[in-house]
Amino acid sequence: MKKNDLKCPNCKVIISFKNVIAFEPDEMEIEAIAYFITCKKCETTFVSPMRYSVKASEEQEDVVKDMFEDIIKRRGNKDD
């Protein structure tokens, strides 16, 4: 498993990240990146750990986690 890879929390399949996010640092600043993922092997939906460009506050991180949890609940994830 490579540094950027994730493991599905349900079936443990390895999910590899290969894309790069490019942006103009004079125009914006990325605080954190979170991935909302559905594993195609077992259909489990989960949120990846936060990846930071600049450390977000705990309050900002909680807002993002709550937002994703609400989306998962609305979708009726079979693991809920």
Is residue 31 a contact partner of residue 56, using CB atoms and an 8 Å limit? yes
Mean pLDDT by 10 residues, the chain (80 residues): 83 82 74 80 84 70 80 65
Is residue 48 a contact partner of residue 38, using CB atoms and an 8 Å limit? no
Quote the pLDDT of residue 40: 93
Residue written as tokens 């930071």?
A: 52
Quote the pLDDT of residue 80: 43
